[in-house]
């Protein structure tokens, strides 16, 4: 088996060997040992966001999109209307999901390099009393932009609407305090800032919202109310759980606690980002975003305008040196992305920068 590459991606990402080792055993899904592991998982997920007193954790098999789909199908009822605040591809995906689920949905859009503006959200909610729920992507992974969560949550709560937060690429690193920020349901997955392996999403939901949502979902599998009732009834998953993924995520959550929780993790990611950005700037690259709105989660770099850097060749040159970067996802500009998250530190980024410099030399791009 060859050595794992360094993943500079927004997930799946580089995981600690201890996290991967936690998968080296079999678990009976209905055995007390696994029921206890599931209980630990649910309680640790709440702890990360101080949600023990206000929310319940509902894990669901699948990738991050699955939990977003389940949350919209369950919490936005057939007579409700969702307003999605969009400044990137993951916001657009929520509109697609709502339409497929047959839900009424509206979109409010900003450019990909602009944050969502709380004032405009308040206006939209005043203008349309039929909107019952608002959805926001916390860190839009399309660019790495960080939306002003506390301000938007306050506007939505003041207007008395439900609030769905896609915190997929922020949860575990950017502190979210559910005991003070009003969020109906927070959605995230195992394989981003929690540094687990892929295969599981979860919702941290206000139980009253789940109780109201009984029978809402048109889907058997994507039904967070039924999934929640399952856990509350016998501590078990309704359908086959990804047992190894759960074991790895519990280990990853213990490691998060040992690192000092989200604050400790953010310090490491910020150092990763600062190292990366300083080095890339020296090599002549420019960030797509203004630094004031950039989260230290994933950096989007503009393709140099001279056209001599071709993504595929650049990717291959870095891959040959053990580093996997990520293509851009912008609608308007040529770009590529480098993730700062995962079990990596400043030294990994220093080595990456050496590899980028070498790749540029071999590609004969003047750096
Ligand atoms: C990763 C991600 C998702 C889910 O993507 P999957 O590929 O389904 O795991 C959703 N929203 C955001 C903001 C993300 O970064």
- What is the pTM for the complete model shown? 0.97
Residue 170 tokens read as 């922020």
Section 212-239 average pLDDT: 97
CA of 142 to the centre of ligand 1 (A): 10
Which residue lies with its CA nearest to atom 9 of ligand 1?
A: 64
Indicate whether residue 164 lines ligand 1 (CB < 6 A): no
pLDDT band at 1 (very low <50, low <70, confident <90, very high): very low
Q: What is the pLDDT of residues 343-366, one digit of tens each?
A: 999 999 999 999 999 999 988 754
Which residue lies with its CA nearest to atom 6 of ligand 1?
A: 64
pLDDT at residue 350, rounded to an integer: 98
Residues whose CB is less than 8 angstroms from the CB of residue 287 and which lie 6 or more positions away in sequence, other chains included: 277, 280, 294, 299, 300, 301, 302
pLDDT at residue 331, rounded to an integer: 77
Section 51-62 average pLDDT: 98
pLDDT at residue 330, rounded to an integer: 84
Q: Which atom of ligand 1 is nearest to the CA of 88?
A: 13
Indicate whether residue 166 lines ligand 1 (CB < 6 A): yes
Q: What is the pLDDT of residues 181-225, one digit of tens each?
A: 999 999 999 999 999 999 999 999 999 999 999 999 999 999 999
Cα 12–Cα 16–Cα 18 angle in degrees, nearest 5:
125
Section 50-55 average pLDDT: 98
Third-level CATH fold of 6-11+260-362:
3.90.1150
CA of 64 to the centre of ligand 1 (A): 5
Q: What is the pLDDT of residues 109-158, one digit of tens each?
A: 999 999 999 999 999 999 999 999 999 999 999 999 999 999 999 999 99
Q: Which of 69, 140, 166 to mutate to test the pocket of ligand 1 (most atoms within 8 A of CB)?
A: 166
pLDDT at residue 320, rounded to an integer: 96
d(CA 174, CA 270): 11
Indicate whether residue 80 lines ligand 1 (CB < 6 A): no
Domain-wise residue ranges, the chain: 6-11+260-362, 17-258
Q: Which residues of 280-309 are buried (b: 16+ CB within 10 A; e: fewer)?
A: beeeebebbbeeebbbbbbbbbebbeeeeb
Domains 6-11+260-362 and 17-258 share a fold: no
5 three-class SS: coil
CA of 65 to the centre of ligand 1 (A): 6
Indicate whether residue 137 lines ligand 1 (CB < 6 A): yes
Section 61-66 average pLDDT: 98
Residue 167 tokens read as 């915190």
What is the full DSSP assignment across 10-35?
A: SSS----HHHHHTTSS---TTSHHHH
Third-level CATH fold of 17-258:
3.40.640
pLDDT at residue 59, rounded to an integer: 98
Q: Which of 12, 141, 201 to mutate to test the pocket of ligand 1 (most atoms within 8 A of CB)?
A: 141
pLDDT band at 235 (very low <50, low <70, confident <90, very high): very high
pLDDT at residue 309, rounded to an integer: 85
Indicate whether residue 90 lines ligand 1 (CB < 6 A): yes
Q: Which atom of ligand 1 is nearest to the CA of 169?
A: 15
pLDDT at residue 356, rounded to an integer: 96
């Amino acid at each position: 088996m060859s050595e794992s590459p360094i993943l500079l991606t927004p997930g799946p990402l580089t995981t600690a060997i201890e996290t991967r080792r936690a998968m080296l055993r079999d678990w009976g899904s209905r055995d007390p040992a696994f029921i206890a592991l599931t209980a630990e998982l649910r309680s640790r997920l709440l702890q990360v966001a101080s949600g023990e007193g206000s929310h319940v954790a509902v894990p669901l098999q699948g990738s991050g999109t699955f939990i977003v789909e389940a949350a919209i199908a369950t919490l936005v009822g057939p007579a409700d209307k969702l307003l999605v605040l969009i400044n990137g591809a993951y916001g657009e995906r929520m509109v697609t999901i709502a339409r497929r689920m047959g839900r009424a949905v509206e979109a409010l859009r900003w450019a990909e390099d602009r944050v969502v503006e709380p004032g405009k959200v308040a206006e939209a909610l005043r203008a349309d009393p039929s909107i019952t729920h608002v959805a926001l992507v916390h860190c839009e992974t399309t660019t790495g932009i960080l939306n002003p969560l506390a301000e938007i949550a306050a506007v939505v709560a003041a207007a008395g609407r439900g609030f769905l937060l896609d915190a997929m690429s922020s949860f575990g690193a950017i502190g979210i305090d559910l005991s003070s920020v009003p969020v109906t349901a927070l959605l995230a997955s195992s394989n981003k800032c929690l540094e687990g392996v892929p295969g599981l999403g979860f919702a941290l939901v206000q139980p009253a919202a789940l109780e109201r949502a009984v029978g809402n979902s048109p889907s058997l599998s994507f039904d967070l109310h039924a999934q929640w009732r399952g856990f509350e009834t016998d501590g078990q998953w309704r359908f086959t759980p990804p047992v190894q993924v759960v074991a790895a995520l519990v280990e990853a959550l213990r490691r998060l606690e040992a690192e000092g929780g989200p604050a400790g993790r953010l310090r490491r990611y910020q150092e990763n980002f600062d190292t990366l950005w300083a080095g890339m700037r020296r090599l002549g690259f420019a960030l797509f975003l203004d630094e004031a709105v950039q989260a230290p989660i994933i950096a989007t770099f503009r393709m140099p305008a001279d056209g001599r850097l071709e993504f595929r060749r650049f990717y291959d040159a870095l891959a040959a040196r053990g580093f996997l970067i990520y293509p851009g996802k912008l609608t308007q500009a040529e770009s590529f992305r480098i993730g700062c998250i995962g079990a990596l530190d400043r030294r990994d980024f220093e080595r990456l920068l050496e590899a980028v410099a070498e790749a540029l030399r071999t590609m004969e791009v003047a750096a």
